[in-house]
Structure 1
Amino acid sequence: MAARGCLLAICISRVLISSRGVFLEPDQKVSVPIGWIQVGRVSASDQILLTFALKQQNTDKLQELLEQVSDPHSLQYGKYLSLDQLSSLIQPSEETLKIVWTWLRNHGVQNCSTVQTSDFLKCFMSASTAEKLLTGSKFNRFTDGHRTLIRSLAKYEIPEEVAKHVDFVGGVHRFPSKNTVISKAWKTSRHRIAGFHLGVTPAVVRKRYNLTASDVGSYENNSQAVAQFLEQYFHQMDLTVFMQLFGRSFVHHTKVDKVIGCQRGIKAGLEASLDVEYIMSTGGNIATWVFSNGGRHESQEPFLEWMTLLSNMSAIPWVHSISYGDDEDSLSMAYMKRINIEFMKAGVRGLTLLFASGDDGAGCREVRKGVNTFDPNFPASSPYVTTVGGTSFKNPFQITAEVTDYISGGGFSNVFRMPNYQLSNQLVTGLIFVLLKDVAVKSYLKRMKSLPPASYYNVNGRAYPDVAALSDNYWIVNNLIPIPWISGTSASTPVFSGILALINDRRFQKGLPALGFVNPLLYSLQGNGTSGAFFDVTTGCHLGCLDEKTEGQGFCASPSWDPVTGWGTPNYPELLKALLLGKVDDP
């Protein structure tokens, strides 16, 4: 022990004298996003909140464990970790903690807090201290007309010996995403002009996906949640009025059970109202939480704030619906890789995270003048979340078959490779493995006669979405006013989330574990030819680049899986039957 302590002291002393700096996020974009303007430098005494993502231990074991607890053929399936067990597995080493704390204290930083997993440090300090700590940073104040933020447009360095122990520093560069729900009654598209539509209500959603009046939650300890960002608040009275208007055909809770954060907004946001009202419509009678991450401090990163909350709560809802995303190319590799680890941490605890696929189709990014490529969305492109695309009714006046919603996000990650559960039915061996080898993504790429040019996407990347639900022309109640024609995958995500929370409810009643990270199970079932669990969406394409090569079109739907609607939309009774499984025996 004495020798180890001596070595550690030597390492710490090197931190004190080291002058060589390392850029932690050299690839992070630092331009000012559209809609934000710089209003001036912060004063030296202004307080800044920085979040230090500390290097974790055993991340390879964490990934292996996630695969085991999510694999329905594994003896470890559903054997999730408690937060204490997770902390013991991944918490930073003693060396990491001592070196980072010494570095901070040597700069006079004392006002810090951590989380139970010990892998995040949130520290308040003056702007002048922050700029000394993060060499090269220059903090300025920015506004979008409603909110102000403190960010640096100059990249930062930290001492080489400290950099070995930190993944990234939050609160420096990233501007929050401004994803919003849209109304096709107010907004036109070159593809379609919104006209009269009867609209989607809870009754329509429940009828389309075969939810009966008795399909509501009843298990006492079940729960579901939505996460809100950027001053998106819901109003309890909106939910009351909404359920009075649209919730008479099923049993439901009359209020949100718990709010984590602050609900201080005078006006409710469309996004917040939509999320809460529809997760509580498909996940009827299930306890619902709202995580309200408003960015209450100017240097806070709301999405990162939500992620750290998950690392600090032992009792937490099983299913989470999140309508949030950024372009992959706008984020640093270090940031995305670490966020993926946070998703794995949630998965090994049995949490199901569902993210909206986005509302820009395949997206489009100009690589250089005259050369474009599709622009994937993150976290939608993460291999460790379930991503939800969007659909529309083929006939707007009937509850009938669905087609692709042209705004539905989807495609292939440029950063993350295609996971095993998409490559093949990797859980089956022998001859059957050979026969089922290309059941998902590769099969789509082989059978489609018309695909975008290969230069527009990464054929080996994680493909998304995984599933879909209606995303077009919803009714909500917002600030006590019924509003029609609200659209976006921000609608389909809480709908699908509520359905999975309802399936969890039935699993709990049978003594089965939570679904957890559900993708391996979904792909395994579909690869084995499980029929009827999804309504296969085979018609329609989504948006691409407005250029001569793609003419505004991205990918198109097809039988089985496709990168617009995934496996399709849920047929609740059959999906329930398929997912009411414990351990699955190999054929």
Structure 2
Amino acid sequence: MRLFSTLCSLALAASSLALPTSDHVVHERRTTTPARWQKTRRVTGTEHVLVRIGLTQSNLENAYEYLMNVSDSVSPNYGKFWTADEVANTFAPSNETVAAVRNWLVGAGVAESRLAQTKNQGWIVFGASAKEAESLLHTKYYHYTDKISGTKAIAAEEYRVPQHVQQHIDFVKPGVLLPLTSKGPSAKHTSKSRPLGKTSVNASSLATCDEVITPACVAALYKIPHASANVSANNSLGIFEEGDYYAQEDLNLFFRNFTPYIPQGTHPKPAFIDGAEAPVNTSDAGAESDLDFQLAYPIVYPQTITLYQTDDLNYASGEIETDGFFNTFLDAVDGSYCTYCAYGECGDSPTLDPVYPDNYTDGYKGQLMCGVYKPTNVVSVSYGGQEYDLPAYYQQRQCNEFLKLGLQGTSILFASGDDGVAGPPGDDSDNGCLGNGTIFSPAFPNSCPYVTNVGATKLYPNHTIADGESAVVDPIGHPYSIAFSSGGGFSNIYPIPDYQASAVAEYFTKHNPPYPYYEGNASFGQNGGIYNRLGRGYPDVAANGDNIAEFNAGEFILEGGTSASTPIFSSIINRIIERRIAVGKGPLGFLNPVLYRHPGALNDITNGSNPGCGTEGFYTAPGWDPVSGLGTPNFPKLLDVFLNLP
């Protein structure tokens, strides 16, 4: 991938590269070394290395088809979700692959007793001297040092494997990959709040929804009925938080002022991961966590909410710097992900993700939590970053996991970002854009085709609920200290998925953006192009995300962001699943195939844009657009669509 070519450039060799004196062929070759890495010296033959052979997984080429088979409403298998074991077994390496690699190693002199296979069957591991490993792989190992961080690593410039086992091997470590570090900040939510002092808002009035969005406004906008008093014990709404913590007193203040039917003390069920803790004192409360719960509870109550609070304070606060995102949550809800191999990465990244036990002061001293929680039917995530901030393979491995969770019936919704077609200012350039500061910067993990992205809308001044919403466009100072517009655009990693192909094609045909474009990341920025015409488009849907009433740190404030839109849409989906459970049906899993088949179940947004990178960004339009997606929820219509499915 071009964006990450400065980090690592790999070339898988064809069998024609076999050495004339050996049946070994070049499996991987690094054509360049990242500038920050310096080769220091050869590895001595007596040094110990842990050889890890990633085995080729089965059926990956069929993964998208499997997901559509249970997610697309026209499929006879819609809603027939898989178990975790079925997912693991389907994608595990074949018996033929395992036998071929083991036989090669034993035949080369590695005793059978030295070989271990991981629980998820993804790789074979054994310890060896460097001399033995070099002989086995026909390679030379070198020590490398990261000139910025001081991190040390062992790697080769190329290595070989026997031609007859090449098809069974994904990659080998130590191999050609050097540990990759992100180029940007951790994925975090940026608060856009403004204090208003004591609330004087009429909690039940709809006359001022253009000024303050209350629970009553949300219910009226999307025609959300009162919830039933009888709820399923197995349909808690999942909310993800990282480095931001709620305060119970803030929730109580909100309930007291806006939703007195919710009892004081109502709080999320803890699903704490790797030493995380919550709640915190009021003075330390985060605007994001408070916002998520204060938006979700009025919609789902008396349904419960499960809080996936991740990572100990050292990592969550940034005291120990890590630039990865979301992997420790995925580990906790799917134990196989802890060692899952894909795209040259096995398990979490030691340079991008938290490492446990955390031996720093007050760190979580336990082992990395793997498979300790069953994922809820819906998970709402109000955090994100940019594609350019992380290696492509890191994102692709994670994207595969979203697919696996969708196969098991979990719906995952992400906030689409708050910087329009750009990233956060200063992320890659002063204006958050790529290249020379003019190329649009797509968001991560939003561009993964197996998640549902939620953009932001608002009621413009002097507009009523009957007038309808528009896309958020808030310049600096109006009303927040930073600019805010709904994140949207096209991926530089993933192509347009089939389920949205016709919607994207219609947008380009009828509402063609007035900007030059490139086609595929291999042609990044060519001919002055500023976005990828062939990339997965996002967001998929939208909801209100501006002037949201909130209590934070004991004060009444107005908050904005797609981080507000996401818990609204997620809560509506959770309510719909509740109704399905009541009539003997189940969860919804991956939402997008059904949503794109039924755009009439959403309120189309046709006013506004998402500026950035010196442009007005993309524009909303009838149908899908890369600002508001398919539109905002219409609860009765969405309920009708999903209740009529198996």
* Cα displacement (A) at 1:185: 3.4
* Cα displacement (A) at 1:310: 2.5
User: Which of these residues, 367, 374, 378, is aligned with residue 440 of structure 2?
Assistant: 374
Structure-2 change in CA distance of 1:575 and 1:482 (3 Å) = farther
* Cα displacement (A) at 1:474: 1.2
Alignment correspondent of 2:215:
202
Alignment correspondent of 1:82:
83
Per-residue deviation, residues 455-480 of structure 1 (Å, max 9, x unmatched): 2211221111010000101122223x
* Cα displacement (A) at 1:507: 1.1
Distance 1:29 1:292 in 2: 36
Quick check: 1:164 aligned with 2:171? yes
Distance 1:508 1:29 in 2: 55
Quick check: 1:179 aligned with 2:188? yes
Alignment correspondent of 1:129:
none
Quick check: 1:303 aligned with 2:326? yes
Per-residue deviation, residues 526-570 of structure 1 (Å, max 9, x unmatched): 2xxxx3x21211111111212xxx3xx100111121110011111
Alignment correspondent of 1:72:
73
Structure-2 change in CA distance of 1:316 and 1:223 (3 Å) = same
Distance 1:81 1:56 in 2: 18
TM-score normalised per structure 1 = 0.72
RMSD: 4.1
Distance 1:346 1:85 in 2: 12
Structure-2 change in CA distance of 1:563 and 1:20 (3 Å) = closer
User: Which of these residues, 388, 405, 418, is aligned with residue 454 of structure 2?
Assistant: 388
Distance 1:134 1:227 in 2: 41
Distance 1:472 1:390 in 2: 8
Per-residue deviation, residues 121-155 of structure 1 (Å, max 9, x unmatched): 9xxxxxxxxxx9995254976xxxxxxxxx85999
TM-score normalised per structure 2 = 0.66
Quick check: 1:538 aligned with 2:606? yes
Superposition map of 1:162-311 within 5 A: 164=171, 173-174=181-182, 177-183=186-192, 185=194, 198-214=211-227, 218-229=231-242, 231-248=243-260, 254-261=266-273, 262-263=276-277, 267-294=284-311, 296=314, 298=320, 301-311=324-334
User: Which of these residues, 446, 464, 467, is aligned with residue 541 of structure 2?
Assistant: 467
Whether the 8 Å contact between 1:171 and 1:299 is mirrored in structure 2 is no
User: Which of these residues, 363, 386, 399, is aligned with residue 465 of structure 2?
Assistant: 399
Alignment correspondent of 1:415:
493
* Cα displacement (A) at 1:415: 1.5
* Cα displacement (A) at 1:84: 1.8
Distance 1:361 1:73 in 2: 34
Structure-2 change in CA distance of 1:367 and 1:475 (3 Å) = closer
Whether the 8 Å contact between 1:152 and 1:172 is mirrored in structure 2 is no
Alignment correspondent of 1:35:
none
Distance 1:28 1:96 in 2: 33
Secondary structure in 2 matching 1:136? strand
* Cα displacement (A) at 1:220: 2.4
The amino acid across from 2:623 in the alignment is: S
* Cα displacement (A) at 1:572: 0.7
Quick check: 1:564 aligned with 2:627? yes
Secondary structure in 2 matching 1:462? strand
For the pair shown, the structure with the greater C-alpha radius of gyration is 2
- Point out where structure 2 has 5 or more consecutive residues left out of the alignment: 1-23, 38-51, 125-139, 162-168, 196-207, 336-370, 424-431, 474-484, 518-528
* Cα displacement (A) at 1:395: 3.3
- Point out where structure 1 has 5 or more consecutive residues left out of the alignment: 1-16, 32-50, 122-131, 142-150, 187-194, 425-439
Distance 2:291 2:151 in 1: 33
Per-residue deviation, residues 159-191 of structure 1 (Å, max 9, x unmatched): 8468715799998523652432432638xxxxx
Secondary structure in 1 matching 2:465? coil
Distance 1:372 1:247 in 2: 45
Q: Which moved more, 1:388-397 or 1:296-305?
A: 296-305
Whether the 8 Å contact between 1:381 and 1:462 is mirrored in structure 2 is yes
Number of positions where the alignment pairs a residue of Structure 1 with one of Structure 2: 484
Instruction: Report % sequence identity.
Output: 31
* Cα displacement (A) at 1:68: 0.4
Structure-2 change in CA distance of 1:215 and 1:465 (3 Å) = farther
Superposition map of 1:41-56 within 5 A: 56=57
User: Which of these residues, 547, 570, 574, is aligned with residue 501 of structure 1?
Assistant: 574
